[in-house]
Structure 1
C-alpha cells in the first residue's frame, strides 16, 4: 500500500537569495545577476527536495519574489500599493496591491521555472498557483471608471485558465490552487456570502477543464502561516469544509496538524468528501518550530485513516513554509527536516495499514 504525499509549495528563501532580492529592489543589483540568484535557489531547492525522499517535487516557489499571492502581477504599472489589508493574529498586516486600470494581465507565470527544474530532476513536479478569488481582491472596492468588475473577472478567469494549461504543458504532474482566503472569507463575512462568491468564481475556472484534467488539479486551504501566525485559525472548519468540496477539483490539501480538534475536523472532511476527490491531510505543523518525528507523523496518518477511505487519503504539510519572502521564522533546514519526517511517517503508516489489512484478509 502507498499513501501519496506532497508538499504545499513554498520553502524558506536562503539568506543569499533574500540579500540579492534586497539589493535588486534598491537598484544595486542588475536583472541578470538577480536571475542567476533565482536559478541557483531553484536548483538548490530541487536537490534538497530530492534528498528528503519526496515522491513529488516542487521548485519551492523560490521565484515568487515577494508573495505567493501577487507573484503574477509584480512589476505591473497599473497597480498601487494601498490595497486591502489582511491582519494576522499576532498583529502584523499584509497589504495587497490595488488595481488602478485595466486590462488585467499576468506578467509572470508560475511555470516559468519548469525548464530549469526539469533539467535537474526526473521526478514528478507539481506547481502551486494563487486562486482567482484571492486575486479578485486586487480590484478596488470603489470600482474603475473604464474597466468594470465584470470585465476584470472575465480577464482574471481567462488568465488563470492560461496559467493552469501552461503548467500542464510545461510538464506539471499536478496544479494546486492556493485558497487560503477561503477560511478568511468566513471571518470577513460570517453570512457566508463572500465564501459562496469565492467558490463560484473558482468554479468558473475549474469548469473549463475536463473531468480527467480536474483530477490533476487541487485546492489548498489553511488559516494562513506567516511569521508563525495565522489570519483565520479561529474560524470553525464546519463553516468552510461543506462548501470547500463543492469546488470542481480532484484533490484537496487541508491543514490539520495545527488544528485544536483534528479528530472533529477529520469527521467533517469524511462527511463532505466526494467519491472522486482525494483529501491530502496536513500532518506537519509548519508554525510549530519543533520538528515532527516520523512516529508522530505516522500517528497522525493513522488518525486520518480512521475517517478517510484509504483510496482517498494523502498527506501534506499544513501550509507552505514561507509564503512571503521576508518570513525568516523557519529555516530551510527545519523545513526540509519536517518534509522528510512527513515522507517517512507516511510510509510507516502505509506499512502498518497494509499489515492490518493483511491480518483482516487472512
Structure 2
C-alpha cells in the first residue's frame, strides 16, 4: 500500500523569472522572450520535482502573477478598487472589480496544463481558482444593465469551462483553490457568506458526473502569503462540516500549522464523504524550518489513527508562492520541504504496512 502525496500548486519564482516579469511590465522585454523564460522556468520546476521523487507535479504556477487572478489579467472591463484581503502581519492584497459586463475569462487554466504536460514524465495536476473567489469581483453597488444573477450565471459557465478544459487536457486532478472559505467566516461570522460560497461552488460541480468528480478536488487553508495568513485565527471547525459537503473526490486540507490537529482530524473523520480522499497538510510553507521526513511520518501516522489509510493522502499546507512577488520562501527551501513530505509519506506507508 502506498499513500498518495501531492503539492498544492505554486512554487517560488526564480530571481531571473521575476526580473523578466518586471521588465515585461515596464516595456523592456517583449512577450515572446518572456514566454520563453516562463517555459524554461516551468521545465526546470517539473524536472526538479521529478528528481526529488514527487509522484505528481504541477507547473509551480511559474507563468501566473497569482493563483487568484489568472483568468482576468488583461481584461479591459476591470477597475482596481476591488475587495481588500488583509493579512495578519499588516500587508494586504486587493482584487480588481468588474466595471461592466459581460464577465468572461481571458485565460483558461488548460493553457498552463498543456504547457506543463509537454515537460512532465509523471501525472500533472492543475489548480484553478474557485468560482466563489471570483464572485467577489462583482461590486456591491451593482452594474447598470448587468445584474448580479447574470454575472453569476456567466461565472458558473466560465468556471465549468475552466475545469472541463483541464479534465479534457489530461489533468491528473483539477484542484479548486477555495482559500477564501475560512476567510469568509472572518468577514461574516454568521456563516451566510460561506453558505453562499458553498452553494455557488456546488452549482458548478453539479455540471459534472460522479466519474468526473473523482478527478476534481478542493483545497482550503488560512492563506499563505509573505509568511503570513489571513484567517488562521478563525476556528477550523466552523468551516469543515460545510466544506466536506462539496461533491469532489479529493480534499486538500491545511493541518501542519494547526495547534491541535487531533481535534481537526476527529471532525474530518466524522464528516468525510464515503467517496472522497483527504490529503492532509504535513509541511508548513510559511515556517522557514524544513521538516524532517520523520516528522512528516509521525504526522501521517497520527492522522491514520483517525482516518482510513486507503482514503488518506498528504500535501503541503499551502502553495509556496501563490502570488508571484512573494519571495519569503526560497526555491531551495520549498523543494527541501517537498522532498521531506515525499520521503516522510513513504516512511509512514512502510510503517503502516509492517
- Please indicate, yes or no, whether the TM-score normalized by the shorter chain is above 0.5: yes
Equivalent residue, structure 1, for 2:230: 231
Query: Could you tell which deviates more after superposition, 157-166 or 115-124?
Result: 115-124
Q: Structure 1: state its 5+ residue gaps.
A: 356-362
After TM superposition, the structure 1 = structure 2 runs for residues 59-70 of structure 1, keeping only pairs within 5 Å, are 59-64=59-64, 66-70=65-69
Secondary structure, aligned partner of 2:218: strand
**Structure 1 match to 2:53:** 53
**Match for residue 103 of structure 2?**
104
Residue 221 of structure 1, CA deviation: 0.6
Do the aligned partners of 2:85 and 2:92 also contact (CA within 8 Å) in 1?
Answer: yes
**Structure 2 CA distance, aligned partners of 1:116 and 1:98?**
29
Task: Quote the offset at 1:44 in angstroms.
Answer: 0.8
The aligned counterpart of 1:242 is 241
Q: What is the Cα deviation at residue 28 of structure 1?
A: 1.1
Task: Indicate the SS of the match to 1:32.
Answer: helix
The residue that corresponds to 2:201 in the other structure is 202
Show structure 2 runs of 5+ residues with no match: none
Residue 120 of structure 1 deviates from its aligned partner by: 1.9
Cα deviation, residue 290, structure 1: 0.5
| Alpha carbons 2:174, 2:215 under 8 Å: kept | yes
Matched with 2:2 is 2
Task: Report the secondary structure of 1:53's partner residue.
Answer: coil
Equivalent position of 1:333 in the other structure = 332
Pairs within 5 Å for 1:140-219 = 140-219=139-218
Runs of 4+ in 1 over 6 A off after TM superposition: none
- 1:47-71 superposed Cα distances (whole Å, 9 cap, x missing partner): 111012011111111111x211001
Deviation at 1:296, TM superposition (A): 0.6
What is the Cα deviation at residue 346 of structure 1? Answer: 0.3
For residues 265 and 273 of structure 1, the distance between their equivalents in structure 2, rounded to whole angstroms, comes to: 12
Superposed CA offset, 1:149-172 (max 9, x none): 101100111001111111011110
1:360 is matched with which residue? Answer: none
The 5 Å alignment of 1:1-362 reads 1-64=1-64, 66-355=65-354
- Cα distance in 1 for partners of 2:158, 2:206 equals 14
Structure 2 CA distance for aligned equivalents of residues 62 and 167 of structure 1: 17
Deviations 1:150-209 (A, max 9, x none): 011001110011111110111101000000000001000000000000000000010000
Give the structure-1-normalised TM-score. 0.97
Instruction: Tell me how far 1:118 sits from its aligned partner.
Output: 2.2
Q: Which moved further from structure 2: 104-113 or 179-188?
A: 104-113
SS for the counterpart of 2:296 is helix
Deviations 1:92-137 (A, max 9, x none): 0100001001111111122213333222222110000100000000
Tell me the distance in 2 between the aligned counterparts of 1:140 and 1:81: 11
Which digits, 9 at most, give the CA deviation of each residue in 1:17-74, with x for residues without a partner?
Answer: 100111111111111111111111111111111012011111111111x211001100
Distance of 1:107 and 1:116 partners within structure 2: 17
Please state how far the C-alpha of 1:348 moved relative to its aligned partner. Answer: 0.3
Equivalent position SS for 1:129: strand
What SS does the aligned partner of 1:249 have? Answer: coil
Paired residue total: 354
What TM-score do you get using the length of structure 2 for normalisation?
0.99
The CA distance in 2 between the partners of 1:339 and 1:227, in whole Å, is: 19
Equivalent residues of 2:113, 2:126 under 8 A apart: no
CA deviation digits over 1:203-246, x for unaligned, max 9? 00100000110011000010000000000000111100010011
Give RMSD over aligned pairs.
0.8
CA distance in 2, matches of 1:76, 1:41: 25
